[in-house]
Amino acid sequence: MKAFSRAASQMFAVLLLLGVCFSPIALTAADLEKGEANYRKCKACHQVADGADLIVKGGRTGPNLFGIVGRAAGSVQGYKYSPDLKEAGERGLVWNEELLVEYVENPKAFLTNYLGKNARSRMSFRMKKSEDIIAYLASFNKLDVTTGEGIDGARPNATDDKALR
Ligand code: HEC
């Protein structure tokens, strides 16, 4: 019994390690579906549009989220960001999935932490555990490197500023 539980706990440690390596966001079809459904919480303020190609209709209070993964923070041309989000981008903040989950959980705290000063955010919305939503958003800019095509119907990433307007 003792030997068994040691083996079990070793196995658990390995699984934990694997989990850490592949975290934070493992893409499954179910996650993407959940993310698509949950994205309605963001829709009131954000659209997803590849240039003139409107992928997900939404409000314009917040910036276009097309290509957000891999994009510099505060970089949509013509959108009026808060000075603090703009500054974070200018200081080199580039969004990845992990950072996006953290930001959405508490934009003000995220910026305060990043900038090392009491920051303000214009995004008043907060949400915990947005991994599925972020995975859904990431699906719009997954490129197959061999063909240059989007994977599974996803759109290629924006290549010029016009596509982010
Ligand atoms: C009530 C309106 C509102 C809702 C709801 C909202 N946002 Fe925002 N969002 C904003 C505003 C406004 C900004 C600009 C923030 C700033 O300038 O400080 C923003 C900024 C962002 C940014 C930074 C974009 C960039 O270009 O750097 C991300 C990422 C983001 N929102 C994701 C989300 C996600 C994901 C959701 C849903 C879970 C969501 N938002 C829900 C209003 C909203």
Which residues contact residue 161 at a Cβ distance below 8 angstroms, ignoring those fewer than 6 apart?
Answer: 77
Percent of all residues in the chain with a pLDDT value above 90, rounded to a whole number: 58
Q: Report whether pLDDT(149) > 70.
A: no
pLDDT tens digits, one per residue of 25-72? 566 778 889 999 999 999 999 999 988 889 999 999 999 999 999 899
Tell me the CA–centroid distance for residue 163 and ligand 1, in Å. Answer: 18
Amino acid (one-letter) located at 113: N
| Residue of the CA atom closest to atom 5 of ligand 1 | 42
Tell me the CA–centroid distance for residue 12 and ligand 1, in Å. Answer: 37
Neighbours of 124 (CB within 10 A): 9
Report d(CA 62, CA 42) in Å as an integer.
Answer: 9
b/e map of 87-123 (b: 16 or more CB within 10 Å)? bbbeeebebbbebbbbbbebbbebbbebeeeebebbb
Average pLDDT, the chain: 81
Q: Tell me, yes or no, if the pTM score tops 0.85.
A: no
Report d(CA 26, CA 129) in Å as an integer.
Answer: 14
Residue the block writes with tokens 């990431």: 138
165 lines ligand 1 (CB under 6 A): no
119 lines ligand 1 (CB under 6 A): no
Hey, where are the domains in the chain? 27-164
Q: Are 57 and 39 in contact (CB under 8 A)?
A: no
Strand partners, 54: 49
| Residue of the CA atom closest to atom 41 of ligand 1 | 42
Domain 27-164 part of CATH 3.30.365.10: no
56 lines ligand 1 (CB under 6 A): no
125 lines ligand 1 (CB under 6 A): yes
